[in-house]
């Protein structure tokens, strides 16, 4: 049964129990109502985690995944908590070969790894995540943190001139 209570538009489904998800309809904006959950039950978590379109704040962010399995071809299955697990080859999970970065060991089954959300939905409707982009993202965030710190302290930033561009020079900082 569906019951509406109070002027706030509070809605609940089924009899009152701690397992029943309860949610409130927010104010009307641009013809759409915002759905906010008061209490997350198992149902609420499943609904939110299986609908990638409801998670625009995750685009270009780092999330965690758990390694589920590894097959004989070197492919890892990683559960990221959404519609379907992601597959990675061990070459993408290995970092440091042929670069100046410190090499990371390959993950074991059950390990928690960080992944970068490239796209919430690709043309097949799946969330696209990457380990290589996570490394690039971490390096650029570190460089921007360093620039902000120098700006706040009023000190100079060390770098090297790469080439001339319209209105100035392109300068390489932090690698």
Residue-wise pLDDT tens digits, 29-86: 444 444 555 455 566 656 555 554 556 677 777 888 888 999 998 888 888 877 778 8
DSSP H stretches of helix in the chain? 42-50, 90-93, 132-153
Q: What does the alpha-carbon distance between residue 76 and residue 152 come to, in Å, rounded to a whole number?
A: 43
| Beta carbons of 59 and 120 less than 8 angstroms apart | yes
pLDDT of 51 reads 53
Residue 99 confidence (pLDDT) above 60: no
Name the helix (H) or strand (E) containing 129. strand 128-130
d(CA 76, CA 108): 10
Token readout for 103 is 């090499």
* Sign of the torsion formed by the C-alpha atoms of 109, 112, 117 and 118: negative
């Amino acid at each position: 049964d569906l019951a509406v209570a109070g002027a706030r538009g509070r809605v609940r489904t089924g009899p009152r129990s701690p397992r029943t998800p309860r949610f409130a309809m927010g104010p009307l904006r641009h013809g759409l109502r915002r759905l906010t959950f008061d209490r997350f039950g198992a149902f609420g978590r499943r609904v939110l985690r299986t609908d990638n379109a409801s998670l625009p704040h995750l685009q270009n962010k780092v999330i965690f995944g758990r390694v589920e399995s590894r097959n004989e071809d070197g492919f890892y299955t990683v559960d990221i908590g959404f519609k379907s697990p992601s597959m990675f080859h061990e070459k993408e999970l290995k970092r440091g070969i042929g670069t100046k970065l410190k090499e990371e060991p390959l993950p074991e089954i059950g390990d928690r790894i960080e992944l970068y959300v490239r796209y919430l939905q690709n043309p097949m409707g799946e969330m696209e995540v990457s380990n290589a982009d996570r490394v690039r993202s971490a390096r650029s965030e570190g460089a921007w943190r360093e620039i902000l710190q120098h700006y706040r302290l009023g000190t100079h930033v060390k770098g090297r001139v790469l080439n001339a561009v319209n209105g100035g020079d392109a300068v390489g900082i932090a690698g």
